[in-house]
A and B are shown apart, each in its own frame.
Chain A
C-alpha cells in the first residue's frame, strides 16, 4: 500500500511570492491534514480537509489556504510569503471523519525556503 506522497520535496521562493504544495493521501483515506514544523519549533496544525470541505484550521493567517479535490488529494497555498514561513510542511491522512481513534499517517514533507 502506497503511503502519503507530497510534492515537491524542496521549494525555494522569495518574499512576497506564492507557494503551492501538494499531497496525495493513502488510498481509502478521505481526511487530509496539514502541519507546519518551523525550525526549532514543534509540529503545528494548519488545516484539515475531509470530503472536500475545510473542517478546521489552526492559528495561522488567511495567507495559508488550501483545498481538497474529489480524489481526496489536497493542495496547500501560501500567499505573500514571509521569511518566517520557511519550514517543513507535512501532510497527513486518515480514514473518514466520524471514526474516532484514527491514526494519522504522514508524508515525507515539503521543505519550503523563503529568501
Chain B
C-alpha cells in the first residue's frame, strides 16, 4: 500500500523556468510533509517542509504548497538551475515519527 505517491517518474524543465513536482498521499493522519533532494549513492538532502496547519511555505527558490482536501502537495522551484537536476522525494510523517517516502521524481534541468 503506497501511502505517498509521486506519479511522475521524470520531469524535464528548461533552465530559468519553473519546475513543479507533485505528490499525493492517502493517509489523512499525516501532519508533516517534507521534500528531499537526492543524488545517486548519497543521502537525501532536506529542502523544505510544511505542517498540516499551513498551506504554503517558502524558502528562497523553493515553495511547497499543501492542499489537504485533495491530499496533494507540490514543490515549486523558481527559477530552475542546472544544479537542481536530481531525484526529488516527498515524504510524510505523523507527529514527527518515521518518514514515509514517495517513489521519487527525476528532475532534469536543460541548459
Contact = CB atoms under 8 A, between A and B. Distances in A.
Interface of A: 4, 6, 33, 35, 42-45, 48, 55-56, 58, 88, 90, 92, 94, 97-109, 111
A105 B104 CA distance: 17
B15 interface: no
A101 B101 contact: no
Interface residues on B, range: 20 to 34
Interface of B: 31-32, 34, 36, 41-46, 49, 51, 89, 91, 95-104
A78 B32 CA distance: 30
Contact of A42 (B34, B96, B97, B103): B103
A106 B45 contact: yes
A43 B98 contact: no
Given A43-B89, A100-B32, A101-B49, A90 B98 contact: no
Given A43-B89, A43-B101, A105 B46 contact: yes
A48 B102 contact: no
Given A42-B103, A103-B34, A103-B49, A109 B41 contact: yes
Contacts of A108: 42-43
A77 B22 CA distance: 35
B100 A103 contact: no
A105 B43 CA distance: 9
Given A103-B46, A109-B41, A56 B102 contact: no
B2 to A, nearest CB: 9
A45 B43 contact: no
Nearest to A102: B96
A101 B31 CA distance: 8
A4 B45 CA distance: 11
26 contacts: A4-B43, A33-B98, A35-B99, A35-B101, A42-B102, A43-B89, A43-B101, A45-B98, A45-B99, A45-B100, A48-B97, A55-B97, A56-B97, A90-B43, A90-B44, A92-B43, A94-B96, A97-B96, A97-B97, A100-B96, A101-B49, A101-B51, A101-B96, A105-B46, A106-B45, A107-B43
